[in-house]
Structure 1
């Protein structure tokens, strides 16, 4: 299995203003390290306490030599403004700034560190130098509270590191009359992401070159074991899909170039199924489960969003259409009175079959009903087989997307909610979703701000980490599902 998200190795550098007692900062640093170790987690303790610029350079070299790729700069006392901010400038990974809380009302003379004050000057100097850093909502705390900040920081750091070495590989342009997810790639370069665009013909040539690959039987066996007897409805189809899976994995290895991590955005219709002999959805789901999202319909920013979700959660994610309303009769029968949602809070999110099997209640390989109507005249399915279908498992979710506008500006949205334990009575990979105030969010964010119909889904409530990441990346607009008490800018107050 390809490892496609980074491991975060944390380090901590304590800083001390030279007019304060240096041992105060060192003792507080050690207390943080010990508290973090008590949680079963590791952080490298740099023993060089930074009081001046030369100390800062030596400390950076020390943590780099230890293999650290993310850093806590810890203000054990007030801290030296210039040296502590130069750490963020010269360290090549994400940096968290946090400060020590005072410890005892009985020790506020020699034991007072004034780090509460020092964080103000630290943030001011970061701004002067236009340096990026993560600063928690309340960045001052006890050792245990600093450890909580580190736990929140790790998934954000993992995403920052991942994006800095990510390549998005695409095959084919968007389908005609289906341009909703098309967007300028300029924003990718602003984020430090590379892109390699290819044609469907390139992919077809590579696929044919994998015919008879000696690895195919092993992949087929793995697919069959994953699907089980009930899910493996077309056993004869598995060799074709195994051949395609190997094609994508080999392409990633051969074309990653100087980048460590790869995701795909592929054209999957209308030509694909007829020429390749199957729908690619199940293969896409398997790669997503391995941490290599494959966005449908050449959705470049969908692939980017999926990768962000994979880094944040460390688990598989999916990409779904914000698809259809929940019928009123189904709502009355299955939701009303059982869950605290209105009809307009609910919707169905769907895609043909790209959601990993582990995220479904029960999945099976089926055929793409819509494509079957279009390409096989609704007859016995042949090359429109290959979707992975089933109701999405219930539980907490975060619906989100990082997107470029047609004018090239980056923006994002985040909305937390859940998948309800309600049978969809429909086809595809689909679920009944509920997000508080979804109706207003749909109208005044998704429609008003011209977001496409695809949204990334992380399985869990990770809005806090996503917001921290988007803020770090400098995304100027990050929208969310506002409560009733907050009007959207374009919302009619008399409605």
Structure 2
């Protein structure tokens, strides 16, 4: 069963007395109706005061209490006329969730020269005061409610808020220590908590084995059925059974300790403990929306969750190595790993075998090519107290057959990308997804102050223009 994502939006329309109250009420009703039609889960303030609008100082505490009771994850402040900038700032500051400002495009003045709303002018004022209050916010440019930009831009903000929600309090299950030779996956747990409220819950390999022994026959049988339905089997019946038990054990441990992803020491102590590589078990969990990454790469697990949240679970990510350049395409590159990629991404039924990188010593790896198409490639990483999000686009291309799970991709400028990875703070691991999540992640970073964007094929100004609909 795939993970489900939920996000509740707090909708606080605002007006100011010197402009048309009637027009503000009309637009507030139209806006709430539009949100209902879009299927958005939201809490408004219609029950807080007679108008269902923010305009009076005496309502601020009640509105804040109401939104907290509703457990909103983000705030939307439509300026139904000019709005009341100081009250917007007070509510936003108290709630402390991602904020989106917007106002419906102002109509022409009346024949006598009077203006009903001046929403644009009010947005100018509110943006300034939110800065004074040090409240980070996003802005959706003025438009009509039926403009396609409205639906796309609001959806992008909701996805960005989902990323922020996912990061705050995220816990990663670390199974085993890092492989001794992999200094690249070292992390600073203290900084992850201090900067991002991200926690790591470690368990040992013996604990994992004990959990495997506790898994019930029904769970194992259901997982074996999935394996046999979705994969070509090239290993023993016992290896299939042990892989099923391993998958179930990891899921149970993640659920027990409130973890949304895991990073496992996939070699070489695990082979001594249970005689398996975990790639197939990882692939099954990845397909269910519980990313499990290789080589105890906690930063890789964080990346997977950010990407998956940006896609709202509609596309499953895959955890890959940057490996070798394409033999004939100057901007081509091989993304590959021993076999942990979701089966749902495969071009054809993958083969359940053993990884070539370890001389086929133990069973547990998938072999197959995933589909191409347009992708986003992302990596969360940091060192020396600074953290960045490397992001860019790619598209699948043809290339030579490979072992493990793999796809050949083309990027805009491989030389630039190669230099970025080597010069850091990145390593040879990344996360891919068959969706353009860059606008979502770009917007999310407005609300994550200790994480900065680092693009390999675009830049911040270009991404800002995308959010403006240009």
Match of 2:254 in 1: 252
- Cα deviation, residue 72, structure 1: 1.1
* Deviations, residues 298-333 of structure 1 (Å, cap 9, x unaligned): 1111100100111111221111011111113xxxxx
Distance 2:453 2:16 in 1: 36
Q: Are 1:438 and 2:414 counterparts?
A: yes
Distance 1:208 1:133 in 2: 49
Q: 1:150 to 1:353 in 2, by over 3 A?
A: same
Distance 1:398 1:81 in 2: 37
Q: 1:140 to 1:207 in 2, by over 3 A?
A: same
Contact 1:14–1:26, Cα closer than 8 Å, also in 2: no
* Deviations, residues 164-221 of structure 1 (Å, cap 9, x unaligned): 24211102222122222222223422112222123323323333444x6443222212
Q: 1:371 to 1:84 in 2, by over 3 A?
A: same
Contact 1:266–1:295, Cα closer than 8 Å, also in 2: yes
Match of 1:204 in 2: 209
- Normalised to the residue count of structure 1, the TM-score between the two structures is 0.84
Distance 2:317 2:286 in 1: 7
Q: 1:371 to 1:19 in 2, by over 3 A?
A: same
Q: Are 1:481 and 2:446 counterparts?
A: no
Match of 2:14 in 1: 15
Match of 2:465 in 1: none
Distance 2:42 2:209 in 1: 47
Q: Are 1:418 and 2:395 counterparts?
A: yes
- Cα deviation, residue 149, structure 1: 2.1
Q: Say which SS state the counterpart of residue 12 (structure 2) adopts.
A: strand
Match of 2:339 in 1: 353
Distance 2:426 2:112 in 1: 53
Contact 1:366–1:388, Cα closer than 8 Å, also in 2: yes
Distance 1:133 1:108 in 2: 36
Structure 2 counterpart of 1:395, from 373, 378, 382:
373
Contact 2:292–2:301, Cα closer than 8 Å, also in 1: yes
Q: Say which SS state the counterpart of residue 298 (structure 1) adopts.
A: coil
- Cα deviation, residue 357, structure 1: 0.6
- Normalised to the residue count of structure 2, the TM-score between the two structures is 0.88
- Cα deviation, residue 109, structure 1: 4.6
The residue correspondences of 1:233-382 to structure 2 (distance < 5 A) are 233-234=234-235, 236=237, 237-256=239-258, 262-313=260-311, 314=313, 315-328=315-328, 343-362=329-348, 363-372=350-359, 376=361
Q: 1:130 to 1:284 in 2, by over 3 A?
A: same
- Cα deviation, residue 126, structure 1: 2.0
Q: Are 1:192 and 2:197 counterparts?
A: yes
Contact 1:69–1:92, Cα closer than 8 Å, also in 2: no
Distance 1:52 1:44 in 2: 19
Q: Are 1:134 and 2:120 counterparts?
A: no
Q: 1:107 to 1:39 in 2, by over 3 A?
A: farther
Q: 1:239 to 1:68 in 2, by over 3 A?
A: same
**Count of residue correspondences:** 448
Q: 1:388 to 1:108 in 2, by over 3 A?
A: farther
Structure 1 unmatched runs, 5+? 329-342, 377-383, 487-495
Contact 1:187–1:404, Cα closer than 8 Å, also in 2: no
Match of 1:170 in 2: 174
Distance 2:111 2:430 in 1: 53
Q: 1:160 to 1:54 in 2, by over 3 A?
A: farther
Q: Which moved more, 1:38-47 or 1:7-16?
A: 38-47
Q: Say which SS state the counterpart of residue 417 (structure 1) adopts.
A: strand
The residue correspondences of 1:460-479 to structure 2 (distance < 5 A) are 460-475=435-450, 477-479=452-454
Q: 1:103 to 1:220 in 2, by over 3 A?
A: same
Structure 2 unmatched runs, 5+? 47-51, 462-470
Q: 1:67 to 1:473 in 2, by over 3 A?
A: closer
- Cα deviation, residue 18, structure 1: 3.1
Contact 1:32–1:147, Cα closer than 8 Å, also in 2: no
Match of 2:75 in 1: 71
Q: 1:284 to 1:49 in 2, by over 3 A?
A: same
Q: Are 1:87 and 2:91 counterparts?
A: yes
